[in-house]
Chains A and B, each alone.
Chain A
Amino acid sequence: MSQTTSKSERPVVRRGDRIFAGISTGAGILILVILAGVAVFLTIQGIPGIAAAPDEVKSGTSFARFVGPLVFGTLYAALVALIIALPLAIAVALFISHYAPRRVAQVLGYLIDLLAAVPSVVYGLWGREVLAGQLVPAYRWLDENLGFLPFFAGPFSATGRTFFTAGVVLAVMILPIITAITREIFLQTPRLHEEAALALGATRWEMIRMTVLPYARSGIVGGAMLGLGRALGETMAVAMVLSASGVVTFNLISSTNPSTIPANIALQFKESSGLTINALIASGLVLFIITFAVNFAARWVVNRRREFSGAN
């Protein structure tokens, strides 16, 4: 019988394990350091902008009044984009994962992934030069038939460079990421559970509703939040499509539009100096915080029904 010695006995650790643990810990710490660095920079540079008096900055107002409409515009644009993109992304992902023949599914998957490779400037140009003009008839129709809703109140923009157009462009830009994530999750639905549903006499769509969608729920939320995060930070689509005036309005088809934080920074930065720059950086800090909040909200939603997630 071997006796346990009281000498400091270390458990055996393989070198590969130790190296890998070191690398992954290091990478984790590096991300935290970068994140902290960005936050510190934004805070230090931003505080003078927040504290600046109205007559010291170009906007001529207090920081709250300056950033408030931008926050509204940012959230509203991202939300419009998400409302357009999410159902479409889910439908495309379901088609790829559960309806299309394998060959078609693969090609479609590649095409969607390609959408993600297009630079955002190109989307901005396309939105301004092509899409805007083509949507004008739709805006006329909305104005005439649904004009009583605040979203579609006239007069509609004759150029088509509206908040809705910007939302569509943003939606196209976030479509690939949401589709890719939801598609992967849909494909992971255990065959076992799909067959359980089919054996009960579920049609394919009922099977999807009983197993695939509930199983994918947290993945859908995650994908949507990633898309939302991207839409929140996206600059070019909004900067190029809109001639933003910084108003606060829910109107989607008018020619006077809210702006967003990133678009505003991009458009203003070059011509700014002094405390105005600090104010712009402070608006960046606000965006940083919003994005953080969105991610935390996503986590919370995902965790809330963990018990039923199929992960156990």
Chain B
Amino acid sequence: MAKSIDVSDLDIYYGDFLAVEGVTIPIRARSVTAFIGPSGCGKSTFLRSLNRMHEVIPGARVEGKVLIDGQDLYGADIDPVAVRRQIGMVFQRPNPFPTMSIYDNVLAGSKLNSKRMKKADADVIVERSLRASNLWVEVKDRLGKPGSSLSGGQQQRLCIARAVAVEPQVLLMDEPCSALDPISTSAIEDLIHELKEQYTIVIVTHNMQQAARVSEETAFFNLAGVGKPGRLVEVGQTTKIFSNPDEEATEAYIQGRFG
């Protein structure tokens, strides 16, 4: 199920604007990889290139190679829609579908795969996914209520449930806790710990403690300079990056001495 990702020399553009340059990074299966770095250095952009969400923006494109378990993600015969069904994504702001119930939100992805689903099968998927995202107990008595009736933290866990319902191979999370209070944040961090048994997880975070808490590997991104594209400075074991990084810039950023 869980797959590894190998990125080599990836350049990412918005039209003519080169946003991220020359990223080469291996991402291990069944582990959590955290992306850290200052705002605007291209973490989200890079993350979105891993499930081909980048190209939904007009003019956006990439150059370079992304291999998922050896298969070229940007190969000519690869359907981006199929890619996104296998690589789930959780966004910075919780975005459950407001026009759907909690129940239907969880099933939204599954329904794309199989139009006709037995009620019993659907119930199983909904319960399993909501349990996996630690939301089941809180919502099991109001599955018919709109997804937007939940609190922010619950909405975000609903979005995680929606993403894991289709049993993706990889789960991408873009600052999933940045709009949440500390309690919801800790609930989601616990959840990430459980999910990594099954999924390859990539998480962008602004919060260094969070990266240290949840990830095995950490990648530090930075801008090459004002007006220059973002790039990967270094990647390694989280413990190493936080205690003894190779690069001066990484150490400066982690210690908060950042200019």
What residues make up the interface of A, taking CB atoms closer than 8 Å to B?
Answer: 190, 192-193, 195-203, 206, 210-211, 214-215, 217, 307-312
Contact = CB atoms under 8 A, between A and B. Distances in A.
A200 B99 contact: no
B81 A308 contact: no
B187 interface: no
Contact of A210 (B81, B86, B108): B108
A200 B148 contact: no
B109 A201 contact: yes
8 contacts: A193-B97, A196-B95, A200-B85, A200-B108, A201-B112, A202-B81, A210-B108, A214-B97
A33 B132 CA distance: 60
A197 B56 CA distance: 12
Contacts of A307: 145-146, 149
Interface in B163-208: 163, 166
A215 B99 CA distance: 6
Given A200-B84, A200-B108, A308 B56 contact: no
A268 B101 CA distance: 54
Given A193-B97, A310-B99, A200 B109 contact: yes
What are the 9 closest A-B residue pairs judged by CB atoms, nearest first? A201-B85, A214-B99, A310-B98, A200-B109, A199-B89, A201-B84, A192-B95, A196-B95, A308-B146
Interface string B83-112: 111101101010111111100000011001
A39 B85 CA distance: 58
A308 B91 CA distance: 21
A266 B113 CA distance: 57
Q: How large is the interface on B (under 10, 10 to 19, 20 to 34, 35 or more residues)?
A: 20 to 34
Contacts of B148: 310, 312
Contacts of B146: 307-308, 312
A203 B95 CA distance: 18
A200 B82 CA distance: 9
Contacts of B145: 307
B163 to A, nearest CB: 8
A200 B95 contact: no
B97 A211 contact: yes
A195 B99 contact: no
A229 B83 CA distance: 47
A102 B108 CA distance: 29
Contact of A199 (B51, B93, B113): B51
B3 interface: no
Given A200-B108, A214-B99, A308-B98, 18 more contacts: A190-B95, A192-B95, A195-B53, A196-B162, A197-B97, A201-B84, A201-B86, A201-B109, A201-B112, A201-B166, A202-B112, A203-B81, A210-B108, A211-B99, A307-B145, A308-B99, A308-B100, A312-B148
B159 interface: yes
Given A200-B84, A201-B109, A309 B91 contact: no
Contacts of A214: 97, 99-100
A199 B95 CA distance: 11
A198 B53 contact: yes
B22 to A, nearest CB: 26
Contacts of B108: 197, 200, 210
B99 A199 contact: no
B88 A199 contact: yes
A191 to B, nearest CB: 9
Interface string B230-258: 00000000000000000000000000000
Contacts of B93: 192
A307 B98 CA distance: 9
B14 to A, nearest CB: 15
A198 B85 contact: no
B249 to A, nearest CB: 31
Given A201-B109, A214-B100, A312-B148, A195 B95 contact: yes
A307 B95 CA distance: 16
A199 B97 contact: no
Given A198-B56, A199-B51, A200-B166, A206 B112 contact: yes
A85 B159 CA distance: 38
A192 B101 CA distance: 17
Contacts of A190: 95
Nearest to B172: A199
Contacts of A197: 97, 108
